[in-house]
Structure 1
Amino acid sequence: MKYLIAILFLFATIGAFAQNHEERPIVQFTGIVHNADSSNVIVPYVTITNTSVRNTISLSNYKGYFSFVAHEQDTLRFTCVGYGPVTVVIPANVPNKSYTLQVSLKAQIINLPTFHVFPWATTDEFKKDFLAIKLADDDLDIARKNVSRTSMVALSNVLPRDAQEIQSANAQGMHTSILNSHSLTPNPLLNPLAWGSLIKQITESDNKSSNN
């Protein structure tokens, strides 16, 4: 008996709701959603929930335009990420069964609490990594390394000579040639010391060959 009464009450409630809903005229609800701070800024893809009809959901397009069928005195809720919600109620006795509205959504700024990321699980791991860290050289140390003798020698072996260096070498050669233009250039073939050094090198080379 209790179940029968509950079922009859449910049907009566649904019937009253449907009758009340059918009594309200249908309206073509049309409009555009834009930013409340600037009417030239359109808010696209806004969710429109009809809380009066089982939370029926509609969406505006990428230009903020929407158009769908509703009833007079329906409550519509406009929501979008980053904007505060706005509730609109369609008035009664709408002329021409068409209702047009410009909906303004105000940007909502939410300040989140500061969150610090700590990559070490324990304090001991932090101390270990901190002691093993290698500090980078400052600008003065980098400059000293770049102009050190080792760096300069290494660069001279791999870098080609520039135009200024070649010009300086040519100028030095021409200057030496002009200074020695009126002097006798010694012939190395007539130098006995040069012959002695040559014979010594040949002898040492033969001795190494015979020992091997």
Structure 2
Amino acid sequence: MPMKRTLRYFLIIAVLGVSVHKTAVAQQINPNPYRDSIVQLFGVVMTADSLRGVPSASVIVEGKGRGTITSQDGVFSIAVLKGDRITFSSIGFKDKTIVIPVDLKENQYSVIQLMVSDTTYLPATILKPRPTREQFERDFVNNTVPDDLLETARKNTDEAQRRILVNSLPADGREAVNFQLRQQANKAYYSGQVPPMNIFNPAAWADFIKAWKRGDFKRKK
């Protein structure tokens, strides 16, 4: 008799183990039983107080790494699955989360999401002006600046350093376009005639002499 009871308990435990294993495997294969139920979620995101559309509000599907943003009028449309959690967020408003019904019979779901303003109170800041202009100038001149910041400012304003940066750094898009436009304007200005040569330009000679005195033409080691 004890042997039969032991065998019966063993069979019950074995059946339960197989059932639990099948359930676990099924959940791993299909963690969302509604993954094949695609729903077109669309609607409008509006403010709760004035019923105005919220532009560029984020509509995120939690845990899926995808979403969309609303248009200028607060309208949006996105494909989701039954059972998905949708989070609406926008700067200045409290986040709102909804769940797509799992028993939805149609493949479309529309919402009008109202966003409540999120008020943030900052600590008070009191601004007091200096009593006189002379006191301001005195405090400004006597203000202590750390040596590292002062040295950085001195390097940034050094003339030789700025010339090296100008000659070494490539031109950005705006500088390249301006240079091209200046060349085209210069070509159109002297169209039909010989352009002047800089060898007879006194301003060009003055720039050359200044550059020669600075040592711009010295051979760099």
TM bracket (short chain): 0.3 to 0.5
Q: Structure 1-normalised TM-score?
A: 0.46
TM-score (norm 2): 0.44
